Structure 1
Amino acid sequence: MGLSPEHMLMSGYVVIADGGRRRLWSAAEKLRIVEETLDGSASISEVARRNGVSANLLYRWRRLMLEGGSVAVTGDDDVTSNRLVRQMDQRIRKLERQLGRKTMEVKILREALDKVRLKNRHC
């Protein structure tokens, strides 16, 4: 069995090292590359080849940017839609109102308890 230089034999196991490394793209690089796809002068595949990035990754960056803007591409995270953000804001406001009511109830009950205790002391 002839092993190429990329292979080595270690303790009966063959380790295959493709020599490939993942490139870390800066936010500025991602944005620049995605912007190249937006002018329509070249296909996404062409832009990907020209910049040494996989077409699938470029499609992902483009989708993230179109859905969430440059912030999504920067972090390469899932995008939270505006609708979901509005729903979460509404939920927060509702919970804050509930908390305010409960805080007020506790204050009223505490005052009532203090009055009962004071009344019991005078009896």
Structure 2
Amino acid sequence: MLMSDVEIITDGGRRRRWSGAEKLRIVEETLDERSSISVVARRNGVAPNLLYRWRRLMLEGGAVAVSNDDEVTSNRAVRQLEERIRELERQLGRKTLEVEILKEALDKARPKKPMWLAQSPVKDGGR
């Protein structure tokens, strides 16, 4: 092996930032069935595992997920969370109603304090 056949790759020390448009363009290249993801990654200077991640995000959540590099929540998970919120709101409503009923029952069960009539002091000659 000759020295001229060896390629030395040095790390620049910084990560490259990809714009949303660049990510989308690269991911769209992978959707073409004629080229593999590894070839597209190599051609664009992207790690294949990162390109697989962008592609998964794109297929699950669309262009917005790829642009923002966010995790995608499936529609099913969103529906389950919304149903859970509705159930918790129903339970909160029931408990609030129970509290109001118990307050009313407690007010009715408390004995009323008798009203003592203020009596005027008895005068010496008023027997």
TM-score (norm 2): 0.69
Residue of 43, 46, 52 corresponding to 1:53: 46
1:63 aligns with 2:56: yes
3-state SS of the aligned residue for 2:112?
helix
Following superposition, the deviation at residue 78 of structure 1 comes to: 2.9
Identity of aligned residues (%): 75
Counterparts of 1:122 and 1:38, CA distance in 2: 86
Q: Point out the structure with the larger strand share.
A: 1
1:81 match: 74
RMSD of aligned residue pairs (Cα, Å): 2.2
Q: Name the counterpart of 2:87.
A: 94
How many residues in Structure 1 have an aligned counterpart in Structure 2? 106
Quote the Cα distance in structure 1 between the aligned partners of 2:18 and 2:91.
45
- Mapped to 1, the partners of 2:114 and 2:24 lie a distance apart of 76
Indicate the residue corresponding to 1:9 in structure 2. Answer: none
Please state if 1:27 is matched with 2:16.
Answer: no
Q: Which runs of 5+ in 2 are unaligned?
A: 1-9, 116-127
Residue 103, structure 1, aligned to residue 96, structure 2: yes
Tell me, yes or no, if structure 1 residue 120 matches structure 2 residue 112: yes
Query: Any runs of at least 4 consecutive aligned residues in structure 1 with deviations exceeding 3 A, and if so which?
Result: none
Q: Where do 5+ consecutive residues of structure 1 fail to align?
A: 1-16
